[in-house]
Structure 1
Amino acid sequence: MSEFTGTYGGGFDAKKGRISVPAPFRAILSRLGAEEIILRRSRHLPCIEVWPKPDYMAEVNARVAGLSKLSAEYQSIMRKLVGRIHTLHPDTEGRVVMPKDLAEEAQFESELQFAGRGAYFEIWSASAYAAEEARLDAEDEGGDV
């Protein structure tokens, strides 16, 4: 399993549609030998999930293991998990051109936050990330997490 941890600021060049993956996350991708990354809209939060391609495809394959490729369930899962992703190849400096539809859905601004989630990392607009962190802090109310 990957070990994407921590939160890093970054920028979004809206004119070129480009982002740069933070160096600590690039190092993990390199160590994993993941030359390609998978980007997908989060189904739960206003952000983009970024997975090393081998890890993501292993998750997909685990979900459909044992299902007939002709079954409705297999086709539905594949449509959601494979048909709605973007596969990108970062350049040597970790830059990728963000698919326009993903940037618009996540309402990217010039300032971004890259947040590690263990197996993958998320890309947020800085304002949406701050709002989510405030919500979590308020919800926690002095808890142990």
Structure 2
Amino acid sequence: MNRFLSNATNRIDTKGRVSVPAAFRSVLTRLDVSELYCLQDFVFPAISVGGPELLDRYESQIEALDPFSEEANRLSLLVHGGGVFAKLDAEGRMMVTDFIRSFTGITKEVVFVGRGRYFQLWDPETFEATASKARQERTANGVASA
């Protein structure tokens, strides 16, 4: 499968690195992703992580707009100003940088959350609260589980 599914929590080591879950590393390998594009999510306090195609997808949206429009400028501000590239080390770890920590509130542990074609980095407590709220809202709207 070439999708990021499920979630896993890993501890940040003393050097500020966290191991990417093996299942996620397998997907990255199958997709031949060696450089990760990390983007501050537009809605949640989470970092979205994917290969260069994630950046390409956003840049295609920007290019379809009038380059002088406010919408194009706002989207570029978020996509380019709110994004960085990262790499995994030989042991499959990534650095949890200040860029990640300040936006997410992550301190000691990271929840890796599959989002299909990309995954996200979350603070554990924030993820649990957000997922619980999403379940409650879905149930309140009368939508049954599949």
Query: Which residue of structure 2 lines up, in the alignment, with residue 93 of structure 1?
Result: 91
Tell me the distance in 1 between the aligned counterparts of 2:35 and 2:6: 21
Normalised to the residue count of structure 2, the TM-score between the two structures is 0.83
Query: Which residue of structure 1 lines up, in the alignment, with residue 102 of structure 2?
Result: 104
Query: Which residue of structure 1 lines up, in the alignment, with residue 31 of structure 2?
Result: 32
Query: Which residue of structure 1 lines up, in the alignment, with residue 113 of structure 2?
Result: 115
Query: Which residue of structure 2 lines up, in the alignment, with residue 47 of structure 1?
Result: 46
Q: How many residues align?
A: 141
Query: Unpaired runs of 5+ in structure 2?
Result: none
Change (3 A) 1:137 1:68: closer
Query: Deviation digits for residues 3-51 of structure 1, max 9, x if unmatched?
Result: 11111121223x4222221111111111111100011211201211111
Query: Which residue of structure 2 lines up, in the alignment, with residue 12 of structure 1?
Result: 12
Tell me the distance in 2 between the aligned counterparts of 1:44 and 1:79: 15
Q: Is the 8 A contact 2:55 2:79 kept in 1?
A: no
Shift, 1:111, TM fit:
2.5
Q: CA RMSD in A?
A: 2.0
Shift, 1:76, TM fit:
4.1
Q: Is the 8 A contact 2:37 2:83 kept in 1?
A: yes
SS at match of 2:37: strand
Query: Deviation digits for residues 54-97 of structure 1, max 9, x if unmatched?
Result: x213202321334566x345444333212321101111222111
% same residue: 26
Q: Is the 8 A contact 2:107 2:123 kept in 1?
A: yes
Change (3 A) 1:140 1:66: closer
Query: Deviation digits for residues 100-141 of structure 1, max 9, x if unmatched?
Result: 132122111323211100111111111111111221222122
Tell me the distance in 2 between the aligned counterparts of 1:57 and 1:42: 13
